[in-house]
Homo-oligomer: A and B are copies of this chain.
């Protein structure tokens, strides 16, 4: 399966910044994987259908291979956006052949034992909004250091983050009409509040930084789902899930 460096990076780099390891399936449906982080607080789902690839030649039989996230993230750093990447696996190794004018590299990543694919339930969220990732990145940096939890507050026409520490309180807010909002804020009731870990949210938001838009879905005591699309025409999907923090 052949893909331009920029697309492989945009799909793999975010996921392997979050997950230490992940089982990948390569088959007729493309490349897919679902994994959780070791603390079972964050999860990611990756779906790269055949259309994501420039040339798609699936393995004859579907293979599954567990990969080391840190090493895959490192390889992503070594791929340039204009490199051509050939991805294949025999179930024992994941092989990336990375080419540019006059320079070829073969990265062989031996499979590792990973737990079973996480089974993520479909949830009904209470709030949804699609926005440009920059706003989220700014807002998370604003609340960082104030508290280790941040409250997301969605109201008709407004999304607020709220962090309260011993000596300070920060409330970044984006309102209807702002260029940061790609869709309106949809809320089930008048107001939806939910509490998450700042550190995990920061990592996810950073991982999604390169995306054109990011969709947030959340609800009280529900996980946060952060989704963005990857590939030449957005054929692929990356979804992150973050467990809610319950206030004691």
Chain A positions within 8 Å of B, measured between CB atoms, are 68, 71, 74, 78, 101-110, 112, 135, 138-139, 141-142, 145, 166-175, 177-181
A105 touches B173 (CB 8 A): yes
Knowing A103-B178, A179-B101, A180-B103, say if A112 contacts B170 (CB, 8 Å).
Answer: no
B135 touches A103 (CB 8 A): yes
B68 touches A167 (CB 8 A): yes
Q: Which of A68, A171, A175, A180 has the most CB of B within 10 A?
A: A171
Q: Which of B103, B170, B178 contacts A106 (CB 8 A)?
A: B170
Measured in the bound complex, the distance between the Cα atoms of B109 and A34 in whole Å is 42
Give the residues in chain B near A142, CB-CB below 8 Å.
78, 105, 107
Measured in the bound complex, the distance between the Cα atoms of B109 and A169 in whole Å is 7
Q: A101-B179, A104-B174, A105-B142 are in contact. List 10 more A-B contacts (CB 8 A).
A: A74-B145, A101-B178, A102-B177, A102-B181, A103-B174, A103-B178, A105-B173, A108-B169, A109-B168, A110-B168
